[in-house]
Structure 1
Amino acid sequence: LRKTSDPEQEGREAVETLRVLNNNVVLARDEQGQEVILTGRGIGFNCPQGQRVDPALIVRVFVPADGRATEHLAEVLALIGEEVLRAVVIALREVGIEGRESTRPTLAIAVADHVVAALDRAARGISIDYPLGAEARTLYAAEYAQAQRLLAAINARLGPQLDHSEATALTLHLVNASFMSGDLSFTYTMTGVIQQMLAVVRERYGLDVPQQSMSAARFITHVRYLIVRVQQHQQLKGHESTIGKSIRTHHSEATRTALQLATIVELRLGQQLSEDEVSYLALHVARMTMEAESAEV
């Protein structure tokens, strides 16, 4: 989806109601014939199928893109409530995660859906000890910092107050959204793979690799996008790659480690890594271990 919060720019055109989800959410068809989700207080009241939607009631327009299931997202939106959705959209914009024109409205929907459940838990005095708290803080430091600011902005607008541990869940949603993945299972898998890889490097070299180091951060980022390439069947390929051969020649020990890491990917994701992918993994391993060894001297 893509979204606009300004009905002066989009949504003022005539749109025909396809389905009313509730008084505040309507599935409609625009003049180009594509399905859109409209939100706004009272937008679905007395608006039967086939009727034109009053443009003055439109607050947000969600437009399908990338094959997203528009009707399913409309159903999720209908369960969220306008107050929570509005608070989340404003909070995302306020902390700089989303601008006025959102390119990832599914993030707003996912976060708002999570916040609804979190508010219910908070009201009942139920807290969750998220198992990936340490991983979120170390593997996804930038997203975790954003999540903390986002949580504070949400708490400033909604009650009861959400616990600081919710920053972990928000972090995973931010990471997931950066890859346009459909659900959090992708992020859970990726987190596990990265942790296993770092454990192999530590054990093989007997090093305490600081995850906040520049080389470790680059390694983590590389693996994140490597996993995306594997999932999308777009691995780096070119068996006669001069760069790949050079890496394998000059970093033979790191290459052996990279082959171990490739086995993790194959076991967890069911795909064998190409020679070039193994070579670039080896390069990052070499950089990471050299930096760690220099720090110990």
Structure 2
Amino acid sequence: MKIKKIFNNNVILLVDDNGDEMIVMGKGIGYNKHNSSTVDFSQVDKRFVLEKGVSDKLIGLVSEIPTEHLELSNEIIEYAEQQLSVKFSDNIYITLTDHISFALTRFPEGLFVKNALLWEIKQFYKAEFEVALKSLDIIETKMGVRLPEDEAGSIALHFVNAQQKGQDMKQTYTMTKIVNDLSNIVKYHFGIKIDESSINYSRFLTHLRYFAYRVLHDELIPDESDSLFEHVRDKYPESYACAKKMIHYFENNYSKKLTNEELVYFIIHIHRVTSREN
């Protein structure tokens, strides 16, 4: 492969004989080089071999921002994947890099955007938020800038988003709002303080997240002829009364009608998460 563009001494764009492009990073890899030079791959620390559409967007982004921001974002992504034991979708190299670069650009101007979902992110995505806080430490060490905690919330959502089949960030915000609203419906209906460290609450939140995803993608579990709905409804009447409030919530806010099969799981999870507290 030959050099097509040199972004700086550490980041360059390569192209092969078929016209396929690759961004590579390595200390001094672009030093004293010129276009059409070949590359010593023993100097390469990171290769960005991404999907075609993602690769084009990343090349465009790197052309517009300081390349140090790409290096910083890459370090954060690798750290997060290791700590969370996940493999993010390629799109995070664009979304997170762009977000971090924009945040660092705003900082000297005193422009801060409050994260309206910060509390919810802390509650529902604790692991991602802890890693995001560490990301602020990495940014401070590399750039000498301490971004506010609100930015940790936004970075955490990028981690969450990159685990959800590459959905857009707006949908991730909507999912987080749904989880928070449904959780509050349960708390207020029963008038209790739920133990948020319990395994039942953890299971409940997991169910809510996957449920919110299915709602937004019109993938609700269909009704079945041998449904357990009537049995579960009669066995846990108070949990069913709470579930009915969720029905109204989705009808009023999202024009969605829940299936009885979805209600079966809701009623069971509501019973589990509230019976211990009661």
Q: Shorter-chain-normalised TM-score: which range? A: 0.7 to 0.9
Corresponding position of 1:61 = 48
What do the CA deviations read for 1:117-141 (whole angstroms, capped 9, x no partner)?
A: 1212222333333222211111222
Give the gaps of 5 or more residues in structure 2.
none
> 1:236–1:143: structure 2 CA closer, same or farther, 3 Å change rule?
same
Q: 2:205 aligns with which of 220, 225, 233?
A: 220
> 1:97–1:84: structure 2 CA closer, same or farther, 3 Å change rule?
farther
| Matched residue SS, 2:277 | helix
- The letter of the residue matching 2:194 is V
1:160 matched to 2:141? The reply is no
- Tell me if structure 2 keeps the 8 A contact 1:235–1:273: yes
Distance in 1 (alpha carbons) for counterparts of 2:51 and 2:2:
15
Distance in 1 (alpha carbons) for counterparts of 2:78 and 2:220:
34
| Structure 1 residue 70 displacement after superposition | 4.5
Distance in 1 (alpha carbons) for counterparts of 2:275 and 2:198:
12
Distance in 2 (alpha carbons) for counterparts of 1:266 and 1:74:
43
Q: 2:129 aligns with which of 144, 149, 159?
A: 144
> 1:221–1:182: structure 2 CA closer, same or farther, 3 Å change rule?
same
Corresponding position of 2:240 = 255
| Structure 1 residue 222 displacement after superposition | 0.8
Corresponding position of 2:256 = 271
| Matched residue SS, 2:64 | helix
Corresponding position of 2:118 = 133
Corresponding position of 1:120 = 105
| Matched residue SS, 2:145 | coil
| Structure 1 residue 116 displacement after superposition | 0.8
Q: 1:169 aligns with which of 137, 144, 154?
A: 154
- Tell me if structure 2 keeps the 8 A contact 1:201–1:257: yes
What do the CA deviations read for 1:96-116 (whole angstroms, capped 9, x no partner)?
A: 2478x9542322332221111
Corresponding position of 1:90 = 75
CA RMSD across the alignment: 3.4
Question: Share of identical aligned residues, percent?
Answer: 23
- Tell me if structure 1 keeps the 8 A contact 2:6–2:34: no
Q: 1:237 aligns with which of 196, 212, 222?
A: 222
| Matched residue SS, 1:169 | helix
Corresponding position of 1:198 = 183
Distance in 2 (alpha carbons) for counterparts of 1:21 and 1:246:
67
> 1:122–1:180: structure 2 CA closer, same or farther, 3 Å change rule?
same
The count of corresponding residues between Structure 1 and Structure 2 is 269
Distance in 2 (alpha carbons) for counterparts of 1:102 and 1:36:
22
Distance in 2 (alpha carbons) for counterparts of 1:62 and 1:121:
30
| Structure 1 residue 15 displacement after superposition | 8.1
What do the CA deviations read for 1:16-62 (whole angstroms, capped 9, x no partner)?
A: 97xx696756596785x8x655244659x965xxx897574874223
- Tell me if structure 2 keeps the 8 A contact 1:30–1:36: no
| Structure 1 residue 289 displacement after superposition | 1.4
Distance in 1 (alpha carbons) for counterparts of 2:112 and 2:34:
40
What do the CA deviations read for 1:118-176 (whole angstroms, capped 9, x no partner)?
A: 21222233333322221111122222112112222232222323233321111111122
| Matched residue SS, 1:211 | coil
- The letter of the residue matching 1:149 is K
What do the CA deviations read for 1:64-99 (whole angstroms, capped 9, x no partner)?
A: 18xx55433432343343212112222332352478
- The letter of the residue matching 2:108 is A
| Structure 1 residue 290 displacement after superposition | 0.8
- The letter of the residue matching 2:215 is V
More helix as a share of residues? 2
- The letter of the residue matching 1:64 is E
TM-score (norm 2): 0.79
Distance in 1 (alpha carbons) for counterparts of 2:216 and 2:143:
37
